[in-house]
């Protein structure tokens, strides 16, 4: 591979959407941010200079960061933030991955405007395992807020309530014609008839899983989270925050001069306020020059999307993802397990601090947790603390490997909804083979949680509704062709089982990719120890690693 150098200037830029102009944090003044393009095997060097009046850190979502945990980016986990006027160089190699990933800010809610695609091409002269596309197009879903998202979350955390919802969903930063004052801000994809396009779909929305569809077109799913999958056709996709999905769009051979809608709108199973609006983009066929322009335009069909809480669609769609499991792209799912964990993921409550009015049930403060622990970010970075051997007073290693107060997770909620707080981690010896069952709870209403692990891909070996049954469910696990991903939805009222091999030393964040749930504490960290061989150890930090 070669080395690719990027310079990311973090700066404020005025941007107008929905007739509201606000100053947002950008990379190089662009919104959405610039794509990072590399080939498998390349080294990527991104010099980030912070010219904004805010602390920043960037995360390369889904990049495995083999022994390069210092470049992973979550603030207070692998690094202290890059302060105003400071520079940090992220330096990592793309190993064994090709497809679509994305980068985003990983501090507070700044990723609402600070995000962009990561496009990883196969090694030179290695073909895709599908027909070569005529063109490749990134399509990033996001959310637009007329107000400053930092203010929104600060206020929400202080009041212990739910934050307001965003004002629009966006496609490549554009809300589209269904919102007020927005029709000129509509994403348009111009295509030629009879060609194959590779759409690189990325869900960068803060708090919403999204259905996506292009009217009168079927697409073929070929890749998820930068791993090839067994191709399958679908009219509609579900994509959760953090996930990426590559699809092939074969344009119709004979519809010159026609225009179609593409649209995205949320899938939502929880309680409370939400935004059920639709973002729309346009697929426009260029008419071949030989045809007369007298051919009538087809009407703008709005694609039918599943209804807001269509869990049946979500479940069936999710289950269709399978890894290729070929000799060229074998499945490396661990067949034996060294350590098993059962984690509950869900919402709960904390006492409301004095002098505040909290919006949680009975005046409590909303909280979210894994195994009843709401994770508190330290004021220094865990990875630095771990590496220096000075964990005392920063974190403890007593994260529970099963729920403390087992109850019927999907049935009647427990009376006591209070959670405990702490900075607790799980320590894994190098090369531990892990099976983790994540069980959703309905403590404050059942809700889907897109769980993301840093530094790893994992195999989704099973999922189901109700309570996970340690005797009945494992025999049905798929160890043949389970999909390999970095983000998976824990189904509302159900569970998901994953396996991974802890072969990447470092400190790795795991959290719900709903920003509101991260803020409430639905997060934890794994500490993976060094192995004995030199190539199984985390190297020392770069000299410019930011200090707290």
By the criterion CB under 6 A, which residues form the site for ligand C2O?
Answer: 59, 61, 74, 104, 106, 242, 452, 454, 509, 511, 513
Q: How near is the Cβ of 438 to ligand C2O at its closest, in Å?
A: 16
**Closest separation between CB of residue 510 and ligand C2O, Å?**
8
Q: HSE-up of 536 (CA within 13 Å, CB side)?
A: 12
Q: Which residue has the tokens 């695609």?
A: 117
Q: How far is the CB of 24 from ligand C2O (least distance, A)?
A: 19
In terms of CB distance, is 57 or 323 closer to ligand C2O? Answer: 57
Residue 3, beta-bridge partner list: 43
Q: Give the number of residues written for the chain.
A: 548
CB nearer to ligand C2O: give 424 or 454: 454
| Contact call for residues 317 and 414 (beta carbons, < 8 A) | no
Least distance in Å: CB of 169 to ligand C2O?
18
Query: Please, which residue, 200 or 452, has the CB nearer to ligand C2O?
Result: 452
For ligand C2O, give the closer residue by CB, 178 or 224. 224
The nearest distance, CB 192 to ligand C2O, in angstroms, is 34
247 closest CA partner among 173, 118, 136: 136
| 102 or 285: CB nearest ligand C2O | 102
Please say whether the beta carbons of 463 and 316 come within 8 A: no
Residue 225 CA to residue 331 CA, distance in Å, equals 15
Measured from the CB of residue 491, what is the shortest distance to ligand C2O in angstroms?
20
> Minimum distance from CB of 452 to ligand C2O (Å)?
5
Structure tokens, 150: 């930092």
Q: How far is CA 459 from CA 24, 201, 364, 371, 391, in A?
A: 37, 21, 37, 21, 31
Residue 290 CA to residue 307 CA, distance in Å, equals 42
Residue closer to ligand C2O by CB (options 82, 214) is 82
Quick one: 461 or 525, whose CB is closer to ligand C2O?
Answer: 525
Residue 159, SS3 per DSSP: helix
φ, ψ for residue 58 (rounded to 5)? Answer: -115, 145
Quick one: which of 386, 374, 421 has its CA closest to 508?
386
**SS3 call for 158:** helix
- Toward ligand C2O, which CB reaches closer, 300 or 376? 376
Question: For residue 117, what are its two tokens?
Answer: 């695609």
| Contact assessment for residue 216 and residue 255, using Cβ atoms and an 8 Å cutoff | no
Q: How far is the CB of 6 from ligand C2O (least distance, A)?
A: 18
Place of tokens 């999204």: 210
Q: What is the DSSP string of 464-500?
A: EESS--TTTSGGG---SSBEEESEEEE-TTEEEEEEE
Least gap, CB of 153 to ligand C2O (angstroms) = 16
Place of tokens 């007593």: 398
């Amino acid at each position: 591979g070669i080395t690719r150098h990027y310079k990311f200037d973090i700066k404020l830029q005025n941007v107008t959407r929905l007739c509201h102009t606000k100053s947002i944090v950008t990379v190089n003044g662009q919104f959405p941010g610039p794509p990072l393009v590399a080939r498998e095997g390349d080294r990527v060097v991104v010099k980030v200079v912070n010219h904004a009046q805010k602390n920043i850190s960037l995360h390369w979502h889904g990049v495995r960061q083999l022994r390069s945990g210092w470049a992973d980016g979550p603030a207070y986990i692998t690094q202290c933030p890059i302060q105003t006027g400071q520079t940090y160089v992220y330096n990592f190699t793309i190993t064994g991955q090709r497809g679509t990933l994305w980068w985003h800010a990983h501090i507070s809610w700044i990723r609402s405007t600070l995000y962009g695609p990561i496009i990883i091409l196969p090694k030179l002269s290695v073909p895709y395992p599908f027909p070569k596309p005529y063109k490749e197009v990134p399509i990033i879903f996001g959310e637009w807020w007329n107000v400053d998202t930092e203010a929104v979350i600060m206020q929400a955390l202080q009041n212990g309530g739910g934050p307001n919802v965003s004002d629009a969903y966006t496609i490549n930063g554009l809300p589209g014609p269904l919102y007020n004052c927005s029709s000129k801000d509509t994403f348009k994809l111009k295509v030629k008839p009879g060609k194959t396009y590779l759409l690189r779909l990325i869900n960068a929305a803060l708090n919403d899983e999204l259905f996506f569809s292009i009217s009168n077109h079927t697409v073929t799913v070929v890749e998820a989270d930068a791993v090839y999958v067994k191709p399958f056709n679908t009219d509609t996709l579900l994509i959760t925050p953090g996930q990426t999905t590559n699809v092939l769009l074969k344009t119709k051979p004979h519809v010159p001069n026609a225009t179609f809608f593409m649209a995205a709108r949320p899938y939502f199973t929880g309680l409370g306020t939400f935004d059920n609006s639709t973002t729309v983009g346009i697929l426009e066929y260029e008419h071949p020059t030989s045809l007369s322009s007298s051919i009538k335009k087809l009407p703008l069909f709005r694609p039918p999307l599943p209804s807001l809480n269509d869990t049946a669609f979500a479940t069936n769609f999710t289950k269709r993802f399978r890894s290729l499991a070929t000799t060229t792209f074998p499945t490396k799912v661990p067949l034996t397990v060294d350590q098993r964990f059962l984690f509950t993921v869900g919402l709960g409550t904390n006492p409301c601090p004095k002098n505040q009015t909290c919006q949680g049930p009975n005046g409590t403060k909303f909280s979210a947790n894994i195994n009843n622990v709401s994770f508190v970010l330290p004021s220094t970075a865990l990875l630095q603390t771990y590496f220096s051997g000075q964990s005392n007073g920063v974190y403890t290693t007593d994260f529970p490997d099963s729920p403390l107060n087992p109850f019927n997770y999907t049935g009647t909620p427990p009376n006591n909804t209070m959670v405990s707080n702490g900075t607790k981690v799980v320590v894994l010896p190098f090369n531990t083979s892990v099976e983790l069952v994540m069980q959703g709870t309905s403590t404050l209403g059942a809700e889907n949680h897109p769980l993301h692990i840093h530094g790893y891909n994992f195999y989704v070996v099973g999922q189901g509704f109700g309570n996970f049954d340690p005797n009945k469910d494992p025999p049905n696990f798929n160890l043949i062709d389970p999909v390999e991903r970095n983000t998976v939805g824990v189904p509302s009222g159900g569970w998901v089982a994953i396996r991974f091999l802890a072969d990447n030393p470092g400190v790795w964040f795991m959290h719900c990719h709903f920003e509101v749930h991260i803020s409430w504490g639905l997060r934890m960290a794994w500490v993976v120890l060094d192995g004995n061989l030199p190539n199984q150890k985390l190297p020392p930090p770069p000299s410019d690693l930011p200090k707290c």
